Amino acid sequence: MANQFIRDLSANTKRGLRAKVKRGEFPSTAPVGYLNDVRTKTIVVDRKKSKIIQEAFELYSLGSSRFEDITNFLFQKNVRSIYGNHIHKDCVKNILSNPFYYGHFKYGGEIHEGKHKPIIEKRLFDKVQKVMIERGHPNKICTQPRAFCGLLRCATCGMMITAEKQKGYIYYRCTRKSKVIECHELYIREEALVEQVNTILSNYAMSSLWAKEFGLLMKEDEKKVEQESTVIIEDLRNKVSTISEKIQRLLDVYLAQDIDRETYLKERSKLFSDKKSFEEKICNLERDAKSWLEPMQDWLNVASSLAEASQSNDLSSKKSLISKIFGSNLTLHHRRIQESPLFPYSALCAARQKFSENETSFIRVRALGLEPRTSRVSVVCSTN
């Protein structure tokens, strides 16, 4: 009788936990950043620690921090272990990979939709997962001076350009690791390379008058895009509805034992992830129907700051800006940087060659606007 009582108690407990999961409630201890409300038996947001956890996600998403750095960051913000020590780096990894923080939770090997309030957006969570994968295969530590290392490739053999210090000066050269092509590219001093970089930044800088004109046009297009966003939101809602139907059909197929559990869990997790992404896009569009203008504004800010950056001494900032203009297309040949800019910087450079900085009439083209598919700058580039 005692054993039967224990078995019945266990079955009833599991039944209660499954019912709680079905309602979207996490049946366990709340992770860091949340609290277990003993009165309502729900999980609520910890007002102090939730903001710190969000900052930790944002810090790691930049790609320059290790788990140890996040541990130190949390320790400085008074997020510590139960004994007051640093949180172990494995715990930090679990925090950064926990879907609980964007609104889902894992229980019994499955992903479920939760009713708790998310701390971060799924977009930030996905970015963090991507950084974790990239940092899982770290490059060898480079002890050489490397202000522009990783920026240039050799135009002859395609190998990366490295740096070394000789007689008090920093020189950049090809690594000459190619086993097929014999490379004879010459060394170049850092001062000469910086001078070329400054000239390139100046050539792709946008004048203040052009930037002001673009700003006015963007404000006009903001009014028009609100109407278009209604159609986009409706389409996203249809996709969410379709995914919900697929989840239900997948469950029916699994219950009919037509697929194995591993396939079911894998497909279910993918569908829940896609559904959450679409729901987040809907939320973002409803909150800010003009969100697509943000990349345009970011590009405008970068293009406007190139002239000032060319005069500064911050080499890391110069490297970052050059990477935005050329991506990984920069090569070095005969001590000269070979330019192959990305769009829209290529169009901006073409416009600078054709029009003066005081001329703005070409920016306004009849029957065309600053829509995402067609840029006014692209029209200027096509005329060259």
Over the stretch 148-188, which tens digit does the pLDDT of each residue have? 888 888 988 888 888 888 888 888 889 888 888 888 888 88
Residue 108 in domain? yes
Beta bridge partners of 136: none
The predicted structure's pLDDT at residue 380:
37
Residue 140 in domain? no
Residue 345 in domain? yes
User: Does 96 lie in the same domain as 226?
Assistant: no
Average pLDDT over residues 59-82: 90
User: Does 363 lie in the same domain as 252?
Assistant: yes
Print the domain residue range for 55.
Answer: 22-135
* Whether pLDDT at 89 is above 50: yes
- CA–chain centroid gap for 265, Å, is 27
User: Does 231 lie in the same domain as 130?
Assistant: no
User: Does 240 lie in the same domain as 101?
Assistant: no
* Strand, helix or coil for residue 339: coil
Q: Record the pTM.
A: 0.45
Residue 172 in domain? no
* Whether pLDDT at 321 is above 70: yes
User: Does 212 lie in the same domain as 103?
Assistant: no
Max mean pLDDT range (138-142, 168-172, 296-300): 168-172
> Cβ-count burial of 75 within 10 angstroms (0-12 exposed, 13-18 middle, 19+ buried)?
middle
Residue 68 in domain? yes
Q: Is 334 left (phi over 0), alpha (psi -120 to 50) or beta?
A: left
Residue 15 in domain? no
User: Does 324 lie in the same domain as 239?
Assistant: yes
